Amino acid sequence: MNTSTVSAATENAKQTCGALLSTLAGLGTTWAAYGLKIGKMALEQSADALGKTAHTLDTLAAELEKKAPVEAPKADVVVDADAPKADASAAAPAN
């Protein structure tokens, strides 16, 4: 083999290797962009589902408030700690 054939083969191999690396880089970039778009769509769908769930919970809370009877708050019971305790046996009538 002469020097020109070797250098031509070397140049051809460099070009092939460069083209292969360029193709692999382009393919990797394409897959990365695709994955990011799919991730974006998944997040948007999750956000939409959470928004609908929040709206449903709000509607349910409003319906429960409509159906629940309105009760006046009961007054607090004041307990005198110094008062003697009532004996249950003394309060019950004897038979």
pLDDT digits (tens, 9 = 90+) for 17-76: 999 999 999 999 999 999 999 999 999 999 999 999 999 999 999 999 998 876 766 777
CA 46-49-52 angle, to 5 degrees, is 150
Per-residue pLDDT band for 3 (boundaries 50, 70, 90) equals confident
CA 18-19-23 angle, to 5 degrees, is 120
* Res 92 pLDDT > 80: no
pLDDT value of residue 75: 73
Query: What SS3 class is residue 73?
Result: coil
pTM: 0.51
Q: Tell which wins on pLDDT, 56 or 85.
A: 56
